Structures are given as structure tokens and as C-alpha cells.
């Protein structure tokens, strides 16, 4: 392995300046659960590591009653233990429980799960249905990007050289909303999803109507997807088996999976239909 | 490039010079001869390398040694020995939950962290707690029984 250079910047601006000077030659280190595996897999086109651990401004969770802000360096297990996250964003905790193993959740960070940009990521998928906004700092200043505009391909994001994801911010959904996260794999723990689905349904109070539905799927396209057509088909409708089946069919039609070692494209496509319907049924909770 | 660092392991400070890419696991085993921590997959899959970092179980193969500076590391050498076994070790022996033994140090560390934070877990909590420690011999039943046994005392 070639020699690696190493830095521990003491603040965000120093880290941005280091990473923008290094360009493709540098990699930020957060938890490292993905970076170290890649490093061990052999020669890379980068030779410098910028450890972000000294950036205290990227740590911690803040809640103002309406919006929660999760620092990018927050460990997955710390997010799971946060009482505001548990109360208002419960399926984020559910998805996090299926990320890796307890040991990995004690190392891996929320920002890393997003920036690694795996189409199969569990926690990142749920940020799509909570319509999270990502805080980014870079050489040209700060910007906010909606999470659905963050990914450009597998392992690819809109982050430019020198830009660092600093936090994730989400608004509390309407209190009567119900979310469901479903992960499909060959085993219960330490699994990369064949397909994962997250849904959030907001009923119209006092009626049998769905006011709004949000559906996101992972591992079935080059990036994680919000399924707008399927969502629209549910908006302002009365829930029946046919309506849910129709939404599930639209979901299946919207994905573009591949064959790989974990599954075939055909199976993944079929599972999108089955799991979307199942998630919607569970979120709606039967008769009202 | 070698970097001089100090690591706090089992309550003692150790000074070592490490290349950037060297993992905490490699430093423990190769520089400090703390070979109780095992190297299984070296990629965060198996849990044989589990140590405690500030009291929480982590894969030492996924942490750079330079990144472990300032943390309190506990290895299997820090929690019991032949003269005085930790109750978890005693229970694993009593239940026949050890066969080849390769996963055992990692399992002991994970079980210790689990019981320290949750002294009376349900069986489901135990099974979820050790989901990151692969054991190819026991089928986990005796391991789970041993940890449940410790939690009752």
C-alpha cells in the first residue's frame, strides 16, 4: 500500500481548505466503517486522510420543537438513543437498528451513511421520506441541498471537492402520520438490503382519506428513489385493496434494478411491488 | 510516514509509532502483543476483533490507530484472567459455550458492554446484542444461555 498522509484539522474551515487543496487525492474520515474497507481493498486514487473528529460543530443533535438538526458526525447508535428522534422520527430508529451490527453502529456516522451514497443504505433511505435538508460547507460557502437532490449515482453525490456535509435537518411530520420501514434480505442482521422500502402516510383527519403519502425505495436503481407517481395515486383517496395494489404497481414500474450477487433484477422488481403494498397496508393500519 | 501516538489501553498509556493506515487491531496484536483480540475477517463482518471504546463495543479492525487517540480502550486482557475470570467468562465455560474459542474474546467484550448498559436483558435483546459476533461452532444457543445466566445473578 502506498504511503498515506494524515491531517486532523481543528475546525471546519481548516478541513474545507485541506480537502479542497487535496482534491481527488484526499478523503474525509468520519466513522471509517466504509473508508477502511475500501482502503484495505487495495490501491486507491487517493493518498491522504483528513480526520474530521476534531470538528465539534459537526457533533450532536438539536431540536427546537419543529425542526431537528443531526450533526453529520453523530454516531448511528447515538441517534438511535436520542429521545426526540425516537418520538418524532421513529422509523429512522427502526432503519438504524438494521444497519450493520451493534459494533458498526457504534462507529459509523449519519453523515457517512449519506455521503457513501449506497443505493441500499438503510438510514439514508428514511431521510428521503422525511424530506431532510442537508447542510453543506465548502470553499464557496454554505449551502442546503434537499436529500432527494443529493445523489447522482452509486457512490456519487453533488458534493464538490472540499465540500463537507455538516448536518441533516428535518421537520416533524404531521402528528397523525404513520411511517413504516421494510428491509428485505436473506438474513435478519448484518445484511445489505436486496430491496428496502420506507413509507409515510398522513391521513386526512376525520375522514377515510389519505391526505398525503410518501414512498422511497432503495437498492433498485442507481440512486435511492422517491416514487412520486405512486404517491400521487394515493393522495386524497379512500384506501381500498385496489388503491394500494395500483400504487404498488406504479412503484414497480418506476424502478430500474440490476442483477448482482445478492439478487436478480426481476426478483427485486417483484419485491418492490410486494413490499410497497405491505408497507402501505401496515402504515394505514386496516379499517378506520 | 510514521506518527507517534499515545493509546490508553486497559488503563495504561502506551507510546507507539504507527503508519496512518495501521488499524487499532494491528497495533494491539503486533506492537503491543495483546493477542487476545483476534483477527478474523479484517473487514467488520465477524466481530472477533471486538474491543470496548469508551465502554462501547467496536470492531478494532475498522478503526485507525491514529483515530483511537484520546479514547479509553478495553481489551479482553483488561477484564479477567486465568486467576480470576470475569463472570461472563465463567458462565461461557460452565455452559459449554466455547468450542474452538476464536470468537470468544470478542463475544465476551460484546456481552460485557451489553450487561453493563442493560443488566437484565431479554433473550431477544441478548440475541440482537451479539448479532455482530459470528460463531461457527456453538450455534449461539449455549452462548445466549450463558449470558442470560449471568444476567440473573
Sheet containing strand A26-29, strands side by side: A5-7, A48-51, A26-29
Q: What is the pLDDT of residues A138-147, one digit of tens each?
A: 999 999 999 9
Are A5-51 and A61-171 in the same CATH fold? Answer: no
Q: Does the pLDDT at position A225 exceed 80?
A: yes
Are B2-78 and B87-151 in the same CATH fold? Answer: no
With an 8 Å Cβ cutoff, is B19 touching chain A?
yes
Q: Does the pLDDT at position B10 exceed 70?
A: yes
Q: Does the pLDDT at position A288 exceed 60?
A: no
| Residue A193: per-residue pLDDT | 87
Q: Where are the domains of chain B?
A: 2-78, 87-151
CA B51 to chain centre: 4
Q: Where are the domains of chain A?
A: 5-51, 61-171, 178-284
Chain B partners of A33 at a C-beta cutoff of 8 Å? 44, 59, 62
User: Which of B44, B46, B52, B53 to substitute to test the interface with A, most A CBs within 10 Å?
Assistant: B44
* CB contact residues (below 8 A), chain A span 80-99, against chain B: 97
Flag whether the ipTM exceeds 0.90.
yes
Per the CB < 8 A criterion, the answer to whether A165 and A236 are in contact is: no
Q: What is the pLDDT of residues A35-83, one digit of tens each?
A: 999 999 977 788 899 999 999 999 999 999 999 999 999 999 999 999 9
Q: Does the pLDDT at position A286 exceed 70?
A: no
| Residue B132: per-residue pLDDT | 97
Q: Give percent of chain B above pLDDT 70.
A: 100
* DSSP β-ladder status, B2-9 and B12-19: antiparallel
Check A36 against B61: CB less than 8 A apart. yes
The average pLDDT across A175-179 equals 93
Give the pLDDT band (50/70/90) at residue A261.
Answer: confident
Q: What is the pLDDT of residues B85-96, one digit of tens each?
A: 999 999 999 999
pTM over cut 0.90: yes
The top-level CATH class assigned to A61-171 is: alpha beta
User: Which of A103, A112, A190 to substitute to test the interface with B, most B CBs within 10 Å?
Assistant: A103
User: Which of B62, B70, B74, B103 to substitute to test the interface with A, most A CBs within 10 Å?
Assistant: B62
Residue B48's contacts (CB-CB under 8 Å, 6 or more residues apart) are: B37, B38, B39, B40, B41, B102, B103, B105, B106, B133, B134
Per the CB < 8 A criterion, the answer to whether B37 and B24 are in contact is: no
Nearest CA in chain B to A29: B67
Give the pLDDT band (50/70/90) at residue A1.
Answer: low
Strand locations in A151-288 (E)? 151-153, 156-157, 164-171, 178-184, 195-203, 209-218, 225-226, 237-238
Check B132 against A36: CB less than 8 A apart. no
Q: What is the pLDDT of residues B27-81, one digit of tens each?
A: 999 999 999 999 999 999 999 999 999 999 999 999 999 999 999 999 999 998 8
| 3-state DSSP helix/strand/coil % of chain A, to nearest 5 | 40, 25, 35
∠ CA A163-A70-B55 to the nearest 5 degrees? 105
Name the residue among A39, A51, A102 with its Cβ closest to that of B129.
A102
Grid coordinates representing A113 are 451513511
Please tell me the CATH code under which domain B87-151 is placed: 1.10.150.120
- The topology (CATH level 3) of A5-51 is 3.30.43
Three-class secondary structure of residue A258 per DSSP: coil
Q: What is the pLDDT of residues A104-138, one digit of tens each?
A: 999 999 999 999 999 999 999 999 999 999 999 99
CATH architecture of B2-78: Roll (3.10)
* Residue A7 burial (CB count, 10 A): 18
Q: Does the pLDDT at position A248 exceed 90?
A: yes
For A142-171, the DSSP string reads EEEEEGGGTEEETTEESPPTT-EEEEEEEE
CA distance B93 to B82: 12
| Residue A207: per-residue pLDDT | 86
**Of residues A57, A68, A87, A63, the one with CA closest to residue A168:** A68
Q: What is the CA radius of gyration of chain A?
A: 19
**Of residues A147, A151, A145, the one with CA closest to residue A119:** A151
Q: Does the pLDDT at position A19 exceed 80?
A: yes
**Of residues A114, A112, A166, the one with CA closest to residue A137:** A166
The average pLDDT across B132-136 equals 96
Q: Select from 3.30.230.10, 2.60.40.420, 2.60.120.10, 3.30.390.50 the CATH code of A178-284.
A: 3.30.390.50
Q: What is the pLDDT of residues A82-100, one digit of tens each?
A: 999 999 999 999 999 999 9
Q: Give percent of chain B above pLDDT 90.
A: 95
Q: Provide the mean pLDDT of chain A.
A: 93
Q: Provide the mean pLDDT of chain B.
A: 96
| Residue A187: per-residue pLDDT | 79
**Of residues A214, A198, A222, the one with CA closest to residue A125:** A198
Chain A partners of B63 at a C-beta cutoff of 8 Å? 32, 36, 107
CA distance A129 to A198: 7
Nearest CA in chain A to B110: A103
Give the pLDDT band (50/70/90) at residue A155.
Answer: very high
Q: What is the pLDDT of residues A183-196, one digit of tens each?
A: 998 877 778 888 89
| Residue A2: per-residue pLDDT | 65
Q: Give percent of chain A above pLDDT 70.
A: 98
* Residue B101 burial (CB count, 10 A): 12
Amino acid at each position: 500500500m502506498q504511503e498515506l498522509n494524515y491531517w486532523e484539522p481543528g475546525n471546519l474551515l481548516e478541513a474545507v481548505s485541506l480537502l479542497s487543496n487535496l482534491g481527488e487525492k484526499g478523503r474525509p474520515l468520519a466513522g471509517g466503517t466504509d473508508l477502511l474497507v475500501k482502503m484495505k481493498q487495495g490501491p486507491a486514487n487517493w493518498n491522504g486522510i483528513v480526520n474530521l473528529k476534531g470538528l465539534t460543530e459537526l457533533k450532536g443533535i438539536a431540536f427546537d420543537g419543529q425542526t431537528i438538526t443531526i450533526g453529520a458526525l453523530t454516531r448511528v447508535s447515538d441517534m438511535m438513543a436520542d429521545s426526540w428522534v425516537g418520538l418524532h422520527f421513529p422509523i429512522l430508529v427502526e432503519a438504524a437498528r438494521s444497519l450493520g451490527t451493534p459494533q458498526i453502529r457504534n462507529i459509523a456516522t449519519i453523515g457517512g451513511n449519506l455521503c457513501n451514497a449506497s443505493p441500499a443504505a438503510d438510514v439514508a433511505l428514511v431521510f428521503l421520506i422525511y424530506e431532510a435538508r442537508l447542510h453543506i460547507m465548502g470553499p464557496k460557502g454554505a449551502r442546503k441541498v434537499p436529500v432527494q437532490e443529493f445523489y447522482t449515482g452509486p457512490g456519487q453525490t453533488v458534493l464538490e471537492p472540499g465540500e463537507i456535509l455538516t448536518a441533516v435537518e428535518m421537520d416533524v411530520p404531521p402528528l397523525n402520520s404513520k411511517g413504516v420501514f421494510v428491509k428485505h434480505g436473506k438474513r435478519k442482521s448484518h445484511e445489505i438490503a436486496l430491496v428496502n422500502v420506507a413509507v409515510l402516510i398522513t391521513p386526512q383527519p376525520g375522514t377515510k382519506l389519505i391526505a398525503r403519502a410518501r414512498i422511497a425505495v432503495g437498492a433498485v436503481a442507481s440512486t435511492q428513489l422517491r416514487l412520486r407517481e405512486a404517491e400521487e395515486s394515493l393522495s386524497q383517496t379512500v384506501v381500498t385493496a385496489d388503491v394500494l395494489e395500483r400504487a404498488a404497481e406504479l412503484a414497480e414500474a418506476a424502478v430500474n434494478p440490476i442483477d448482482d450477487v445478492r439478487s436478480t433484477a426481476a426478483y427485486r422488481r417483484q419485491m418492490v411491488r410486494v413490499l410497497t403494498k405491505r408497507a402501505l397496508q401496515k402504515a394505514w393500519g386496516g379499517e378506520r | 510516514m510514521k506518527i507517534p501516538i499515545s493509546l490508553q489501553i486497559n488503563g495504561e498509556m502506551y507510546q507507539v509509532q504507527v503508519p496512518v493506515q495501521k488499524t487499532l487491531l494491528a497495533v494491539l496484536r503486533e506492537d503491543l502483543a495483546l493477542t487476545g483480540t483476534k483477527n478474523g475477517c479484517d473487514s467488520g463482518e465477524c466481530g472477533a476483533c471486538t474491543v470496548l471504546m469508551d465502554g462501547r463495543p467496536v470492531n478494532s479492525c475498522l478503526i485507525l490507530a491514529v483515530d483511537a487517540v484520546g479514547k479509553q480502550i478495553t481489551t479482553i486482557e483488561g477484564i479477567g484472567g486465568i486467576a480470576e475470570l470475569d463472570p461472563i467468562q465463567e458462565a461461557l465455560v460452565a455452559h459449554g459455550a466455547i468450542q474452538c474459542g476464536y470468537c470468544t474474546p470478542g463475544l465476551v467484550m460484546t456481552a460485557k458492554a451489553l450487561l453493563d448498559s442493560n443488566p437484565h436483558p431479554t433473550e431477544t435483546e441478548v440475541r440482537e446484542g451479539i448479532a455482530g459476533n459470528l460463531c461457527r461452532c456453538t450455534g449461539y444457543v449455549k452462548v445466549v444461555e450463558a449470558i442470560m445466566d449471568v444476567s440473573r445473578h
